A and B are shown apart, each in its own frame.
Chain A
Amino acid sequence: MSALVIAEHDNARLKPGTSNAVTAAAKMGGDVHVLVAGQGCAGAAAEAAKLAGVSKVLVADAPHYAGALPENLAALVTPLAKGYSHVVAAASAVGKGFMPRVAALLDVAQVSEIVAVESPDTFVRPIYAGNAFATVQSPDAVKVVTVRATGFEEAAATGAAPVEAIAAGPDTGKAKLLGQELTKSARPELVAARRVVSGGRGLGSAENFRLVEALADKLGAAIGASRAAVDSGFVPNDCQVGQTGKIVAPELYIAVGISGAIQHLAGMKDSKVIVAINKDPEAPIFQVADYGLVGDLFQDVPELTAQL
């Protein structure tokens, strides 16, 4: 038995999620290899080699892996996968894109967004926005699994695995990446942050969202948001926390002006400590909050920022 973890990275560094996927893969029972496919990705490969539990890093370095296009990644991973019992990746936007392609090409099921490994063929995954947890068993020869980062610790950086170059797969030429508009921020990455401050529709405008930003900066926290705040243009799409956005589980999650719809709770209810500030005492967010404060956010949030 052995698992191949597909790393996600920006060529220089690994993205958060990959090291959690390595931890999950190690629980599946065998050796863990990591594949780094990119262009000029030696930095990311070196980082992968340090992850505890990894016994080998494979590197496919070619221009057509620059954009992590799913067609090219799947064409590389599928033939390699046949030598492994498990193919594993983080359930990130990239992982969600190419992994089902790999599964279909192998004619196997994919097990999406697992939060626990029960045995080499049995996994636990949330369904219905996390309102139920399914334990599923895969009989397939190769198990294709995506991993929810919040379910697993990060692997420690204590290893020293050998790095081996492998031949690149084909450039399928099916899609062309024209450009990216990445949100620039000096704040921690949302999915890996120890503290998150999220704002909802209650903020009312992009200008008012600065109240959330000021609080986040005082705490060294990442910024999150409800779908309503993103849809209203208060913050960019990559801030959305929830069933269909990002899943976070920081030590401290502060929800400001967020009602607590099932879809939002799905993305944050595993946070260690949850604080909710909302003027409506009936808001469902209070049902998951450790500390609830009923009040006007325009008064309470600046006050909180000042008192920290």
Chain B
Amino acid sequence: MKILVPVKRVVDYNVKVRVKADQTGVDLANVKMSMNPFDEIAVEEALKLKEAGKATEVVAVSAGPAACQETLRTALAMGADRAILVETDAELQPLAVAKLLKAVVQKESPQLVLAGKQAIDDDANQVGQMLAALLDWAQVTFASKIAADGGKLTVTREIDGGLETVEVALPAVLTADLRLNTPRYATLPNIMKAKKKPLDTLKPADLGVDVAPRLKTLKVAEPPKRKGGVMVKDVAELVAKLKSEAKVI
């Protein structure tokens, strides 16, 4: 089984972004960028499947500006076999990314696409599901455990009430949740090796995909601020305040 793992370059999860004064977006100048954490989990799972002899090749793919090469190199350093960059400076919305990935799937013919459940920048949680729809494949989102057996996958997924187990036949799109695994760190020797692994670059036009954005962002604003609170000295004061001031108990 060949696995395609889409990876996105996003603002690092430790960074608290600031909204630009002109409200056109968030300020990304000099901000640390990393691989989307859910995509790291997806890469790890694909590598685990390969190490367990269930997968033959792991191909990482990213869509975005040239800087996404870094993200792909991270995936290669973790252990992916090769990488594909669909290079564009255009704003990419989830539907466009799903269309690009569909075109890559048609070129590469993987049996499994393992994506992250959501990107922590736009928090859209759409691409995996959209890709599955465009390919007319099964999808299993929010995976916390994957067992591969021949042409079938048994996947445990995190749902609002607990867990559920779903069986799908390949080909399928899976999206990774937090507890699927703990991603490995790339070691220095593997980072060096990754520099020599193949990284192909394509353009959206090569794939015949129109990536023009659909949604128009009219403004990006600061969230409403909470007014400052107070510190209480002990439990008795807390209880008193909750009763007489906040009136919530």
Contacts and interface: CB of A to CB of B under 8 A. Distances in A.
Interface residues of B, number: 76
Contacts of B214: 108-109, 138-140
A251 interface: yes
Interface stretch (B53-61, B119-127, B185-193): B119-127
B154 A178 contact: yes
Contact of B94 (A71, A100, A113, A175): A100
A128 B121 contact: yes
A237 interface: yes
Contacts of A238: 158-162
A267 B200 CA distance: 39
8 nearest A-B pairs in the assembled complex, by CB-CB distance: A100-B129, A104-B130, A109-B214, A104-B133, A174-B138, A100-B126, A290-B229, A101-B133
Interface string A258-287: 000011000001001111000000000010
A237 B166 CA distance: 17
Given A96-B141, A175-B140, A175-B168, A132 B220 contact: yes
Interface of B (DSSP majority class): mixed
B249 to A, nearest CB: 7
Given A128-B121, A304-B238, A308-B249, A246 B160 contact: yes
Interface in B127-148: 127-134, 137-142, 144
B221 interface: yes
A98 interface: yes
Contacts of A136: 215-218
B246 A291 contact: yes
Interface in B95-131: 95, 98, 117-118, 120-131
B35 to A, nearest CB: 16
B20 to A, nearest CB: 9
A176 B138 CA distance: 10
Most chain B C-beta atoms within 10 Å of own C-beta, residue among A94, A98, A136: A136
A175 B138 CA distance: 6
A133 B231 contact: no
Main SS at interface, chain A: mixed
A135 B93 CA distance: 15
A182 B162 contact: yes
A100 B137 contact: no
B159 A180 contact: yes
B230 interface: yes
Interface in B172-217: 177-179, 214-217
7 contacts: A67-B164, A93-B142, A96-B129, A109-B93, A112-B123, A136-B216, A303-B235
A112 B124 contact: yes
B27 to A, nearest CB: 10
A195 to B, nearest CB: 8
A252 B231 contact: no
Nearest to B14: A262
B32 interface: no
B232 interface: yes
Interface in A228-268: 230-231, 236-238, 243-244, 246, 251-252, 262-263
A300 interface: yes
Given A70-B129, A177-B166, A231-B179, 18 more contacts: A71-B138, A96-B125, A101-B132, A101-B139, A105-B133, A109-B93, A131-B26, A132-B222, A137-B218, A174-B169, A177-B165, A219-B249, A238-B161, A290-B230, A291-B242, A292-B230, A294-B231, A308-B249
